[in-house]
Structure 1
Amino acid sequence: MAEQFDVIVVGTGWNGLIGAKTYLDFAPTAKLVLLDEQSSIGGVWSKEKIYPNLYAQIKYGQFEYSFYPMRKEGITSDGYISGETINRYLSDFASDYDLVRRTRFRTKVVRVERLGEGAGWRLEIEGQPAIECAKLIYASGATSHPVIPSYANSGFQAPVMHSSETGMHLEALEKIQTATVVGAAKSAYDTVFLLLKAGKKVNWVIRQEGSGPLALMPPTILGLFNTMDAVATRMVGLLGSSIMNKQGRLHRFLHQTLVGQTVTKTFWATLNLIADTHAGYSLSANANKLRPLPYGNGIFWANAGLGAASVPDFWKVFHAGDCTVHRTEIESLGEDNVVKLRDGSSFATDYIVLCTGFDKSYHPFAGDLQRSLGLAPDPSEQAKWGAMEAEAAAEVDSALPAIQQPPLPRPHHDEKGKTGPAHGPSRHYRRLVVPSLVAQGDRSIYFPGFIHSIYTPLVSESQALWGVTFLLGLQDHDLPSQAEMESEVATWTVWSRKRYMVQGRKHAYAIYDFLSYVDTLLRDLGVDMTGKRNLLQELLQPVYPRDYRGLVDEYRRVQLLEQLRRLGGAAAGAGEGR
């Protein structure tokens, strides 16, 4: 018989750790286990994945749980946090909250099966006996299953690795002279910087037909404000065309009036000019190839994603280094370690680093289960979702005219050459739960961490409170009907692909929208953590996780008041009946 648990948490990154801790807050005697296929705590920030010169694109004070301050060490002069500091923080958190002894490392989940309606889950483990649970927190995250492209190979012998393995190849990379970096995500920028800083020659290959290079913000705005502080204000969220923030006079002014729309466009054009000037795209042909799409407004659209030049002197090192940018694709790999490109050029290399990103890490779920859980599109429901999305498009266009007509055409293929249905956020209500299961009364699973946001800790903490109270049936209100939840999913899907174009077609993307997402989750729970400042402060001051300190206690207080209200109402009703 399989070993039994009350709850299994898959993953020990930001989402898995806070999910486990929050579950134990409400059910301290639960038999809980965390599983991770790596050998240490941290997910993408685990010990084996970090390396020198790796910095989060987030400011100190913003990359922590609300109740657990981070040590001030390993911080750049601009306030950005080193990978070593983040790894230490997560390891300390797991230790302080007694999660290490509950964790099974080097434990790879190869298959997840539903035991039956409301009966729980069975997880098959590579090389180990299967285990089962009543509740499952599937927190493997959006960056745990690397995309590895394949190329025609005729005698190529140089090492080829994914960027997620960089930390394990440092010694070998120190000994090489030339390297090839493939891709244009934030990991590619980090890898190029690491190599150039070490004096290596780099060939950087970015395909022409894709989403283009990452939109990269400067670490500070004109040396006056930390860029991530600016992004963490509700004002930028309002200016950013969020579907979760479309109420009130200020929204109507900014998005529904000519003057407001002019103000909004001017703000983003100015921010884009600052970013372009800092990067120095016009200084060389190489740099110009890194200009994000669409030209002139790449910062707003974040078509290929949004990042920050968090490492010190990124652009200075790039402009001074021996780096050639190729806007094409690898055609084949040949003898003498020659890389042949589709545009006809070629060069020899000592190493290839694939910064080709990650795909959805739902592979342990069989195809039919992926479809029933909203993890993959179901062809039989294409007409249903098409109709709902057409209705949602009208709502999005009316509320947010700035994104009604995205400036770039929809690509004909994704990274794997597959067409449309593979794209898009998973069909989960609030990006967390499966509408059809909720409608059945099944509260046995939720999926945290599959929303892309720079401000991971605060988002993960909010998701954990929403998700755990959902699992335990503690939410005082009834969730919407299945039709209403699916309507919310359709609206998000339409908005996401309009707002963030390529990224929004592939992921649940919420870069400028993380605060409105957090507000939405907490509003569902009846919790309001925004009333501590006046209106001007609320709009213009950056929000930090510490502003949400006491979140669980506030939820319990609200829950207790609701219970007392109901008891009072019941008592009054009984009195009237006498």
Structure 2
Amino acid sequence: MAYTSDSDIERVDVVVVGAGWNGLISAKTYLDFMPSANLIIIDDNSTFGGVWSAEKIYPSLYAQIKHGLFEYSFYPMRNEGITEDGYISGQTIHQYLNDFAWDFDLIRRSRLQTTVTHVFRTVWGGWRLELGGKAPVECTKLIYASGATSHPVIPNWPNKGFCSPIIHSAEIGTHLKTLKNIESATVVGGAKSSYDTVFLLLKAGKKVDWIIREDGSGPLAIMPPTLLGMANTMDVVTTRFVALMGCSIMNTDGSIQNFIQRTYLGQVIAWLFWILVNWIAERHAGYSKSENAKKLRPGPHGNGIFWANAGLGAASVPLFWKTFHEGNCTVHRTDIQSLGDGNTVTLKDGTCYQTDYMVLCTGFDKSFHVFSEQMQEDYGFIASPAERARWSKLDLDAGKTVDDLLPAIKTSPFGLSKSFTREETAGGRKLLHGPSRHYRRLVVPSLAAQGDRSVFFPGFIHTIYTPMVSEVQALWGVAFLLGLHDTPSLEEMEREVAEWTVWSRKRYVSQGKKHAYAIYDFLPYIDTLLRDLGVNPQRKKSYLASLFSPAYPREYRGIADEFRRAVAKERSLISTARGTPETATPEPI
């Protein structure tokens, strides 16, 4: 159905795209500052939660982070559906986000089962969203919070008569009844979702063929749920000590940083730390128990946990490795050659077998496809050919800076790995793999430099600390939209973008080339955003506590109020310096 007249168009102040962790907290934060705003939330799922919506979860799905670490700072999660090791069930997370939407009056503002098909700029400087089968919406401010896990990647193979169902891992929740009745299944991919899917199938007694490409980034680096049974792994990962050892571009200033990152002895200490962590992980997994298990060992051998080339996960589901070792699972380190008659899968190594079901755990692409290709280039979603030479120079300078600050990651253990191109997937859609050139991973530098405060993009960063990162991104982004803090010059923003991009691909190799990846770096990232806002990022009473104890979200409670006070103080100082009486506080504050 086409809508062409002005009377068909709905006009609002703010549109939030996405009803998951990022969209919900962004909407709530904006309304905290501007309670009279006409704000709506759009999401194509039928329930709240994004990747944790009711249609995408299933009984054996658990988050890979501990209870108490996976919540907003001011809204505690119920202690329900928690494993003995402290990990949280998908149902608990879905209920938490649903309760959050109810408690903060976001239900009536939400348009579920509504798909954004195109996004345009209006002639008056706002945004127009075309919606599938519904009237368009125009807004002054756009918060595009669809996140990094909302657009499934669907590979394309030659298919001659293959009739078994092929689904993406995001669809498992709606296929549970059918999966109970099959005898065999094929799982494709080495991401965290593939481990969850394999566990689900093996636990149900199914025969599983698990395909992980030899020429890809390999299998996920998997941490045990606890370290030698003494400490919850995620308690350790959410310490500033691990962030210090992790070689973050956002954590290079200070004497201890200089010692660990830029002296020979410090680098040896960090290397030994990661070798120990990797040994603990490999001991727990039992990669040496079988040829199948050996094929799941992440590279490089002996230090895969540090590099996280294929990503980092945790064996959060109870007894994952025991179930894998005892189950009927064959791991294939090759790719699919073709799909054929008789539901036959033919692999590139010559193996042929039949399968009843195929589950694609092939990850997600950035969901910027609703913007035209020209807009994608103009707004830093993809590389612009016209800007290639300029950004090559920026990246070259950034590379020198990263190498000087973090010499431990100067040389990749994987050699000169290939760069990612915009290859096409099933349906002819081009992948948007590659770093977005957004300042602080949130705003388009060129727009910000022009004074355009109409849009920001929360959630396009990969981290295990999702709720707290979302909360701080929302505060930073809303403050930007409302003109409550300023960005630096275009030159400085582009330098920051280049340094992040170069660091990311050096630090996390394959993952860093595809995404804004910060799996060990979420605390320095949060620190950076809070400093921008004038909020103190140090939430512990002592340096040792800050370095070695977990950073719980509840410690950040009140950051919005702290920001308000920082803005009021800054305005007071400006007023005093000008010799004029302080004016009444504007509505947003």
TM-score by length of 2: 0.95
Q: Aligned partner of 1:17: which letter?
A: L
SS of residue matched to 2:147: coil
Q: What secondary structure is seen at the aligned counterpart in 2 of 1:389?
A: helix
1:429 is matched with 439
Query: Which of 241, 255, 270 does residue 247 from structure 2 map onto?
Result: 241
Q: Report runs of 4+ in structure 1 exceeding 4 Å deviation.
A: 413-418, 420-423
Q: How does 1:411-490 map to 2 (within 5 A)?
A: 411-412=417-418, 414=420, 417=423, 423-475=433-485, 478-490=486-498
Return the alpha-carbon distance in structure 2 between the equivalents of residues 298 and 415 of structure 1: 25
Q: Which amino acid aligns with 1:86?
A: I
For residues 196 and 415 of structure 2, what CA distance do their matches in structure 1 show?
Answer: 29
How far apart, CA to CA, are the structure 2 residues paired with 1:30 and 1:366? 28
SS of equivalent to 1:443: coil
Letter aligned with residue 34 of structure 1 = I
Give the structure 2 partner of residue 369 of structure 1: 375
Q: CA deviation at 1:87?
A: 0.1
Contact 2:206 2:328 in 1 (8 A): yes
Partners of 1:551 and 1:343 in 2: CA distance:
55
Partner Cα separation in structure 2 for residue 424 and residue 355 of structure 1: 19
Corresponding residue number in structure 1 for 2:141: 135
Task: State the distance in 2 between where 1:249 and 1:149 align.
Answer: 48
SS in 1 for 2:316: coil
1:562 is aligned with what amino acid? Answer: E
Following superposition, the deviation at residue 155 of structure 1 comes to 1.5
Match of 2:513 among 496, 505, 513: 505
Distance 2:310 2:251 in 1: 23
Q: Which deviations, in whole Å up to 9, do the C-alpha atoms of 1:522-551 show, x marking residues without a partner?
A: 000000041532010010000011010111
- The one of 31, 38, 42 equivalent to 1:35 is 42
The Cα shift of 1:572 comes to: 7.8
What amino acid maps onto 1:15 in structure 2?
Answer: N
Give the letter aligned to residue 59 of structure 2.
Answer: P
Contact 1:210-1:411 at 8 Å conserved across structures: no
Which residue in the other structure is 1:352 paired with? 358
Indicate the residue corresponding to 2:571 in structure 1: 563
The letter for the 1-side match of 2:54 is: K
Q: Secondary structure at the match of 1:452?
A: coil
Partner SS, residue 484 of structure 2: coil
Question: What aligned pairs does 1:314-353 form with structure 2 within 5 A after superposition?
Answer: 314-353=320-359
Q: Deviations over 1:353-397 (max 9, x none)?
A: 000111111111000001111111101110000001100111100
Q: Bigger CA drift: 550-559 or 44-53?
A: 550-559
- Give the distance between the partners of 1:421 and 1:394, measured in 2 at CA: 29
Assess if the C-alpha contact under 8 Å between 2:248 and 2:524 holds in 1: yes
Task: Report if aligned partners of 1:410, 1:502 keep a CA contact under 8 Å in 2.
Answer: no
- How large is the Cα RMSD of the aligned pairs? 1.6
1:403 & 1:411 partners in 2: Cα distance?
14
Q: Give me the whole-angstrom Cα distance separating, in 2, the residues matched to 1:56 and 1:233.
A: 19
Alpha-carbon separation, structure 2, partners of 1:302 and 1:533 = 32
Could you tell me the percent identity over the aligned residues? 62
Report the counterpart of residue 205 of structure 1 in structure 2.
211
Deviates more, 1:20-29 or 1:147-156: 147-156
2:91 aligned with 1:103: no
Partner Cα distance (1:539, 1:470) in 2: 30
Structure 1: stretches of 5+ with no match in the other structure: none
Following the alignment from structure 1 to structure 2, what is the Cα–Cα distance between the partners of residues 172 and 416? Answer: 34
Which residue of the partner structure matches residue 186 of structure 1? Answer: 192
Aligned to 1:85: 92
Which letter does structure 2 place at the counterpart of 1:81?
Answer: I
2:155 matches 1:149? yes
- What secondary structure, in the 3-state scheme, does the structure 1 residue paired with 2:122 have? strand
1:177 pairs with 2:183? yes
Amino acid in the other structure paired with 1:518: I
Residue 198 of structure 1 aligns with an amino acid whose one-letter code is A
In structure 1, what is the equivalent of residue 542 of structure 2?
534
User: Is 1:120 paired with 2:126?
Assistant: yes
CA distance in structure 1 between the partners assigned to 2:442 and 2:477 by the alignment: 7
Find out whether 1:161 has 2:167 as its counterpart: yes
| Structure 1 contact 377–421 (Cα < 8 Å) conserved | no
Structure 1, 11-20 or 401-410: larger mean CA deviation? 401-410
Q: What code does the residue aligned with 1:229 have?
A: D
Q: SS of the counterpart of 1:518?
A: helix
Number of aligned residue pairs: 571
What TM-score, normalized by structure 1, do the two folds share?
0.97
Q: Where does residue 225 of structure 1 map in the other structure?
A: 231
Q: Which runs of 5+ in 2 are unaligned?
A: 1-5, 425-429, 583-589
- Alpha-carbon distance in 1 for matches of 2:226, 2:181: 34
Deviations 1:267-300 (CA, angstroms, capped at 9, x unpaired): 0000000001100001100000000011111000
Q: Give the CA deviation at 1:422.
A: 5.6
Would the aligned equivalents of 1:33 and 1:103 in 2 still touch at CA under 8 Å?
A: yes
Contact 2:539 2:556 in 1 (8 A): no
Report deviation, 1:568.
Answer: 2.5
Secondary structure at the aligned position of 2:538 is classed as: coil
Distance change (3 Å), C-alpha of 1:333 and 1:573: closer
